[in-house]
């Protein structure tokens, strides 16, 4: 499996469950801050990356298990494991063993969400994104077409991707709220690079 | 990570945004040598950066699918987030855990000489709660056997195999003594557990006091002391201490935390708990509770640590979870569940 195929596998089997995993961490491991959860999720991707994907039958369960194990490692590093923490870990384990849920987001609905995110991007940003993804122009060609620098194209695309990543982290409900107040999210500002 | 940015005066990009920038940059074409160095430096800071880049590149790749989207989008799914609410599990009483060995034979011999006793057994996977005649509560863990004899002189229990937890009814006139292998544990407080395992006794006290000594120095009726135990003088264990005892060796006494003691008794709730024990040890523990065996076919894998609370009677669940956590895989071999390394 080449790198692009591995990215597609992650996108298909892991990414769709990120919001749910984050939600579980928030609800069941009360000792974690938002930054802790970001760290755990990011480290989980690093852990999952070298796995033999063909052997993973349920991406969701694998994601949960990986994150749970990271929580356990943190607990171990803290040396003292309070019972409630073990209970939290147990709660995570139980949920991770559920069969693939009915609430599994359909591929089509997931695409719809992505489309909505793109639709909400600032005009220039959206244009750059559509030229890259829909018309498959290179970033250099986009720069020429739009009369802007390649660096600015990169900034636009980075902003578009960051928005998508925010939406992945937040899940469908949150993303709906984000669309009600476009431009208010801190992460889409691309500080210092526009 | 947006929070991180908001709390910073400097316009510092979040890890996610840096990752998104690298994902977009990598999509544009090969990196110049100085870019390659910058990327490698950033990735080397911490594993989260690597993960964030994987995440961003995966999402970026996934956005290719948008090109194929012809129909208008449907509304995003809302709500429908289910899940079990976590219920904290409380421990009502504070026992003493003791883990014991091999010398169950001695107990059998003793009872051969003292035939007037009750025998209690539990099947594999069973946790059996028994109230003894004096009101003492005895809980047998999986595959355990205890023989109980109450006389005018005292209350004697021999743990033949397995593990038992005792919540002892107060009766100073009749000492409550549990024999396990070479050692006896005398309850001076309220509750304790005894376990026969490999070649050691492991006693953990969280409340009350117990006295541990070599059985040979505590001659029971009709039996003369024999053998040289290292613990010929009784050792008193106070709360939050654990004694590890081998025949003919000095007792090793180490302090423990209350959670550790609780963890050791997770079996009362049908659970087994591990906090860094090797996979081999964890598998042995899970196997105590189940007819269906788990095997580990890789010594390096068997040495890896396992952490977590597991249902004792779900070997498949344990194997699956442990394998996933350790990057291993699970296979079936006849009736056995095999955990083995992922060939890569």
How much is the pLDDT for B173? 79
Is residue B217 over pLDDT 70? Answer: no
CA atoms of A32 and B262, how far apart (whole Å): 23
Shortest distance, CA B143 to any CA of chain A (angstroms): 24
Asked if A104 is an interface residue toward chain B (Cβ–Cβ < 8 A), one would say no
Which H helix or E strand runs over B210?
A: strand B210-214
Q: Is the Cβ pair A66, B23 closer than 8 Å? A: no
Shortest distance, CA A182 to any CA of chain B (angstroms): 15
ipTM field: 0.81
Choose from A158, A172, A184 for mutation: most chain B CBs within 10 A: A158
When comparing pLDDT for B92 and B38, which is higher?
B38
Would you say how long chain B is, in residues?
344
Is residue B259 over pLDDT 70? Answer: no
Choose from A10, A46, A134 for mutation: most chain B CBs within 10 A: A46
Chain B residue numbers touching A27 (CB-CB < 8 A):
83, 86
Rounded (10°) CA dihedral B140, B141, B145, B151: -30
CA distances from B270 to A66, B128, B265, B276 (A): 24, 11, 10, 20
Model confidence band, residue A38 (pLDDT cutoffs 50, 70, 90): very high
Model confidence band, residue B11 (pLDDT cutoffs 50, 70, 90): low
CA atoms of B5 and A186, how far apart (whole Å): 8
User: Which residue(s) pair with B338 in the sheet?
Assistant: B295, B331
How much is the pLDDT for B193? 64
What are the tens digits of pLDDT across the range A84-126? Answer: 455 555 555 544 444 444 344 555 667 777 888 888 899 999 9
Q: What is the mean pLDDT of residues B154-161?
A: 88
- The structural domains of chain B, with segments of one domain joined by +, span 2-63, 96-261, 270-341
CA atoms of A36 and B4, how far apart (whole Å): 11
Q: Enumerate helices (H) and strands (E) in chain A, giving the number of each.
A: 9, 0
Model confidence band, residue B297 (pLDDT cutoffs 50, 70, 90): confident
Most confident of A26-35, A156-165, B163-172, B220-229: A156-165
Of all residues in chain A, what percent carry a pLDDT higher than 70?
A: 69
Shortest distance, CA A122 to any CA of chain B (angstroms): 17
Q: What share of chain A is helix, strand, coil (3-state, %, to 5)?
A: 75, 0, 25
Among candidates B37, B205, B251, B325, which has minimal Cα distance to A63?
B325
Candidate from A44-58, A105-119, B30-44, B82-96 with smallest mean pLDDT: B82-96
Chain A residue numbers touching B325 (CB-CB < 8 A):
65-66, 68-69, 72
Q: Hey, what are A182's tokens?
A: 């476009």
When comparing pLDDT for A166 and A81, which is higher?
A166
Q: What is the mean pLDDT of residues B222-246?
A: 59
CA atoms of B293 and B290, how far apart (whole Å): 7
Q: Is the Cβ pair A42, B55 closer than 8 Å? A: yes
For the sheet with B155-161, list strands across it: B118-121, B145-150, B155-161, B176-180, B183-187, B210-214, B235-237
When comparing pLDDT for A193 and A57, which is higher?
A57
Chain A residue numbers touching B269 (CB-CB < 8 A):
none
Among candidates B237, B233, B193, which has minimal Cα distance to B211?
B237
Is residue B188 over pLDDT 80? Answer: no
Candidate from A16-25, B81-90, B97-106, B293-302 with smallest mean pLDDT: B81-90
Most confident of A22-31, A82-91, B51-60: B51-60
User: Hey, how many other C-beta atoms are within 10 angstroms of the C-beta on B30?
Assistant: 7
When comparing pLDDT for A162 and B307, which is higher?
A162
When comparing pLDDT for A2 and B205, which is higher?
A2
User: B253 exposed, middle or buried (CB, 10 Å; 0-12, 13-18, 19+)?
Assistant: middle
Among candidates B341, B336, B343, which has minimal Cα distance to B295?
B336
Buried b (16+ CB within 10 A) or exposed e, A68-90: bbbbbebbeeeeebebbbbbbbb
Contact B166, B187 (CB under 8 A): yes
Q: How many CB pairs under 8 A join A and B?
A: 262
Beta-carbon-side half-sphere exposure of residue B85 (alpha carbons within 13 Å): 1
Residue corresponding to tokens 């244009």: A127
How much is the pLDDT for A193? 40
- B96-261 and B270-341 in the same fold: no
How much is the pLDDT for B198? 61
Contact A81, B262 (CB under 8 A): no
* CATH among 3.40.50.620, 2.60.120.1440, 2.40.30.10, 3.40.50.300 for B96-261: 2.60.120.1440
Is residue A173 over pLDDT 60? Answer: no
Of all residues in chain B, what percent carry a pLDDT higher than 70?
A: 67
Q: Hey, what are B192's tokens?
A: 């304790």
CA atoms of A170 and A68, how far apart (whole Å): 19
Specify the DSSP class assigned to residue B176. Answer: E
How much is the pLDDT for B206? 62
What residues contact residue B151 under an 8 Å CB cut-off, 6+ apart? B221
- List all residues of chain A from 29 to 58 with a beta carbon under 8 Å from chain B: 34-35, 38-39, 41-52, 55
Most confident of A128-137, B9-18, B44-53: B44-53
Which one of A18, A106, A133 has the shortest CB-CB distance to B63?
A133
What residues contact residue B57 under an 8 Å CB cut-off, 6+ apart? A7, B23, B26, B27
How much is the pLDDT for B72? 34
Chain A residue numbers touching B23 (CB-CB < 8 A):
161
Q: What is the mean pLDDT of residues B180-208?
A: 69
Chain B residue numbers touching A75 (CB-CB < 8 A):
307
Provide the pairing of β-strand B305-311 with B271-278. Answer: antiparallel
How much is the pLDDT for A133? 87
Is residue A187 over pLDDT 60? Answer: no
Q: What is the mean pLDDT of residues A16-42?
A: 85
Is residue A21 over pLDDT 80? Answer: yes
CA atoms of B238 and B255, how far apart (whole Å): 10
Among candidates A93, A40, A74, A140, which has minimal Cα distance to B276?
A74
Mean pLDDT of chain B: 72
CATH class of B270-341: alpha beta
User: Which residue(s) pair with B273 in the sheet?
Assistant: B309
How much is the pLDDT for B276? 75
CA angle A141/A147/A153 to nearest 5° reads 60
Is residue B103 over pLDDT 80? Answer: no
Contact B308, B321 (CB under 8 A): yes
When comparing pLDDT for B293 and B203, which is higher?
B293
CA distances from A44 to A32, B79, B95, B245 (A): 15, 25, 38, 41
């Amino acid at each position: 499996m080449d790198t692009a195929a591995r990215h597609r596998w992650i996108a298909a089997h892991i990414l769709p469950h990120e919001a749910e995993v984050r939600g579980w961490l928030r609800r069941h491991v009360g000792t974690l801050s938002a930054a802790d959860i970001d760290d755990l999720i990011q480290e989980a991707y690093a852990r999952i990356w070298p796995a033999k994907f063909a052997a993973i039958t349920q991406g969701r369960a694998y994601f949960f298990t990986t994150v749970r194990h990271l929580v356990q490692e943190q607990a171990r590093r803290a040396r003292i494991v309070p019972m409630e923490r073990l209970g939290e870990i147990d709660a995570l384990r139980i949920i991770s063993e559920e069969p693939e849920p009915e609430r599994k987001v359909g591929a089509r609905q997931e695409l719809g969400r992505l489309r909505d995110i793109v639709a909400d991007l600032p005009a220039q940003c959206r244009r750059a994104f559509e030229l890259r993804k829909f018309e498959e122009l290179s970033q250099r060609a986009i720069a020429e077409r739009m009369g802007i620098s390649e660096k600015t194209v990169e900034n636009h695309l980075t902003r578009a991707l960051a928005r998508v990543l925010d939406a992945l982290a937040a899940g469908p409900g949150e993303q709906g709220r984000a669309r009600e107040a476009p431009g208010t999210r801190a992460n889409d500002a691309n500080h210092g690079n526009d | 990570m947006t929070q991180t940015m908001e709390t910073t005066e400097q316009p510092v990009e979040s890890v996610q945004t840096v990752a998104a920038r690298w994902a977009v940059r990598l999509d544009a074409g090969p990196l110049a040598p100085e870019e390659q160095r910058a990327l490698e430096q950033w990735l080397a800071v911490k594993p989260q950066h690597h993960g964030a880049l994987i995440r961003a590149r995966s999402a970026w790749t996934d956005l290719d699918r948008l090109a194929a989207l012809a129909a208008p989008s449907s509304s995003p799914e809302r709500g429908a987030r289910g899940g079990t609410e976590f219920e904290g599990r409380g421990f009502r009483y504070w026992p003493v855990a003791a883990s014991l060995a091999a010398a169950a034979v001695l107990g059998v011999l003793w009872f051969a000489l003292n035939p007037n006793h009750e025998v209690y057994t539990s099947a594999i996977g069973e946790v059996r709660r028994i109230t003894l005649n004096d009101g003492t509560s005895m809980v047998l863990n999986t595959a355990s056997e205890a023989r109980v004899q109450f006389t005018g002189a005292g209350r004697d229990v021999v743990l033949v195999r397995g593990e038992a937890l005792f919540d002892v009814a107060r009766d100073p006139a009749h000492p409550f003594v549990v024999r396990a292998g070479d050692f006896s544990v005398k309850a001076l407080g309220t509750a304790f557990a005894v376990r026969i395992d490999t070649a050691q006794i492991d006693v953990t006290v969280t409340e009350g006091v117990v006295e541990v000594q070599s059985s040979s120095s505590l001659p029971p009726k009709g039996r003369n002391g024999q053998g040289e135990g290292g613990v010929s003088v009784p050792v008193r264990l106070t709360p939050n201490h654990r004694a590890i005892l081998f025949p003919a060796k000095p007792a090793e006494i180490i302090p423990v935390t209350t959670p550790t003691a609780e963890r050791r008794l997770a079996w009362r709730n049908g659970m087994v708990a591990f906090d860094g024990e090797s996979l081999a040890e964890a598998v042995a523990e899970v196997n105590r509770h189940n007819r269906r065996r788990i095997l580990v076919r890789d010594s390096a894998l068997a040495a890896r640590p396992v952490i977590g609370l597991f249902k004792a009677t779900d070997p498949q669940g344990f194997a699956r979870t442990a394998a996933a956590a350790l990057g291993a895989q699970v296979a079936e071999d006849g009736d056995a569940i095999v955990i083995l390394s992922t060939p890569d």
